[in-house]
Chain A
Amino acid sequence: MPKIALLSDIHSNLEALEACLAHATRQGADTFAFLGDLVGYGPDPAATLERIMDFASAGAPVVLGNHDRAVWDDAVRLNPVARQAILWTRPRLTAAQLAFLQSLPLTHHLENLLLVHASAEQPEAWTYLTRETEAAASLAATEATWTFAGHVHHQLLFYQASDLRTHAFSPTPGVAIPLSERRRWVATVGSVGQPRDRNTAAAYALFDAEARAVTFHRVPYDWGRTIYKIYSQGLPPALAHRLSEGR
């Protein structure tokens, strides 16, 4: 797995997923990993899952997100709009697709690399890695050199500096950042299907295992098309609006 594309929080946004897959392929990605929240919010749950299941049957790692779990587990807490979108999603999935979601693990190890949707510390608690303290707790819960996560919809890189404490770094898209094995790292790769940093472009990251470097990417996609589907299929209009503003 020299070059692994890390895609998270796709949220049934097929246009954004296809744009990121095409971009990663042009960048030389040979492995695709999906970090959870494959569905929810967006208008294309079945087609999105179909695409990801094809990757999974070819061996691609896929982990479970809180929205994926909410499809079959009412105990998962979600905000009202997210809940509405999940209720809309349920009848649109086939039995095989539902079974696929139910089969997903919470974490996946690839050699020295840990893939998880939220945090390595109690993955099922769905903790957001937004601050240094949460990232430090995630680091403490795993031996892996590199942890890649999603859930927060922002691109951030946490690392242990010379003071042995955990620090946050806001990456510049397109710059390859070496991640030395002499320290440990946690990255949140951003959201493919619902970016929230006032930038509408889809977000993902590419890890080059040979060079030990991560590049965060932003990929423009046709969100006008996604919005049209959200409006026309009776999903909450707020979900369309936020895509057009990236929030």
Chain B
Amino acid sequence: MSNALLPGAQIDGFTILQALGTGSAAHLYRVSHPVHGEALLMKTPRLGPDEPAFGVVSFETECTLLPALRGPHVPRFVASNPFSPLPYLVMELVRGRDLKQHIRPGGLPLPELTELGFAIATAAHSLHRQDAIHLDIKPDNLLLREDGDAVLIDYGFAHHARYPDLFQEESRLAVGSTPYMAPEQAAGIRDDPRSDQFALGVTLYQLATGRLPFGIPATLAEVRSRSWTRPTPLRALRRDLPPWFQEIVFTCLEPEPERRYASCALVAQALSHPDSVLLTERATRMKRDGWFERLWRTWRHDPEPAKGRRAMPLSPSEQAQVAPLFMVAFDPNEPDETLQRALRYAVVRILQRDPESRLACVALLETPADGSGASASERQHAYRIALHHWARQLEIPEERLSLHVFESTDPAQRLLDYARRNSVDALIVPAPHDAPSAFRFNRSFLTRLVEQAPCSVHVVRPPQA
């Protein structure tokens, strides 16, 4: 405890309340401040001749990155003073469950696994959209808020495209936690957001089985061996897990980033829409590779895949939007054919720009106030048929498409919640009009969407005569 602080000590108006322990690179305290509040966390780097040298660098990195990051998946930045003789960083003390508590020998039940996987993938995607990569995702660095949102903590090893990366160790000493680390990260590559997806895959594997897929490697050479060693199939350890779950986890664990999902949003989508997961050989593996297969894979693999690889041509935020999710919301029973056509043209034009983009088609349906007429399921069924007919004319592959019928007394709120939960990149809606349809895209509805949507809103109007 070279430079630890005692309760009651004051730094720049912050009062130390309680020591919360010592991490690999920093001391942690609960602190309060008359203006910033009671529930705060202060980090001070471990300084001194006997302390690890990377401590200062990771502290500096976190001081730079945390103020630049936003949203519920990052602890809110409060203050920092990296230049004072006693440097510190203060952030929100996230109240939530520790993901470590969820690791148990038999693994978690499937609904909890998909829920946690969805939450972590969504958190990682939110970070990638801000041009940052965490590079140290593991249960130790994940907290769960009461509403289910995952929070990624500790940005000491993170990378941000808009700031100089202070970790340039090349392969001499890769930074991050080795059981979770992607092979390309072990080779010193720090600008690929898909490295976070690999760590998410390791975390999910551990939550599902209580075991680490690649054990605890002692050397970097052992970390690199995961380029050709395949973990024991999940379903060999847990027969009750469905093939689609194994497909998703093993796609995340692909040694080559190009063979993983293009973005963490796609991992989240796969976990929340298992029907849409295309099953491959990954889903059907039931046995650990035999010695011959392992020998073959060792012999066949590229010894230095990172050599000759250029820096990522896309920044993390660009990479995160390689496979954007668009959402079109309308009334498929709209009688105005010119409007229907204009909407279809707009959707096709937008989808053409990104060959990997996906489309969620939403039929909006207001619950009748008087409860008269057909039953809810009959009503929704009729809408689903109309929606399917409309979407078929787009002529895009089924795996890029999902269909939804939202019946609600407050359809706008349903749309906004869906867009937020699924990290929708743009929302496409028809312009306000007075057609006598069951659901009206009136002005107040659209105003609310435009004001509250977590993304761009495209309002489509047919060409005027």
Contact = CB atoms under 8 A, between A and B. Distances in A.
Interface stretch (A64-72, A133-141, A176-184): A176-184
Contacts of A111: none
Given A162-B57, A178-B64, A180-B83, A169 B168 contact: no
A163 B163 contact: no
B7 to A, nearest CB: 28
Interface residues of A, number: 18
A41 interface: no
B64 A163 contact: no
Nearest to B67: A178
Contacts of A162: 53-54, 57, 166-169
Interface string A130-158: 00000000000000000000000000010
Interface in B123-170: 161-170
B83 A212 contact: yes
Interface string B25-58: 0000000000000000000000000000110110
B164 A177 contact: yes
Interface residues of B, number: 20
Nearest to A210: B83
A83 to B, nearest CB: 37
Given A180-B60, A182-B56, A182-B60, A161 B170 contact: no
Contacts, number: 47
B82 interface: yes
Nearest to B170: A163
A163, A175, A178: most-surrounded residue (chain B CB, <10 A): A178
Interface in A163-193: 163, 165, 167, 169, 171-172, 175, 177-178, 180-183
Contact of A172 (B162, B168, B169): B162
A177 B163 contact: yes
A181 B83 CA distance: 7
B390 to A, nearest CB: 41
Contacts of A88: none
Contacts of A163: 168-170, 172
A115 B60 CA distance: 25
A34 interface: no
Interface in B251-268: none
A223 interface: no
A175 B168 CA distance: 22
A159 interface: yes
Nearest to B315: A172
Contact of A169 (B54, B63, B164, B172): B164
B358 to A, nearest CB: 29
A168 to B, nearest CB: 9
Given A175-B162, A182-B56, A165 B64 contact: no
A167 B162 contact: no
A175 B162 CA distance: 7
Contacts of B82: 178, 180
A157 B164 CA distance: 8
Contacts of B63: 178
Interface string A199-226: 0000000000000100000000000000
Interface in B79-109: 82-83
18 contacts: A161-B164, A161-B165, A161-B166, A161-B168, A162-B53, A162-B168, A163-B169, A163-B170, A163-B172, A165-B168, A167-B164, A177-B163, A178-B64, A180-B60, A180-B83, A182-B56, A182-B60, A212-B83
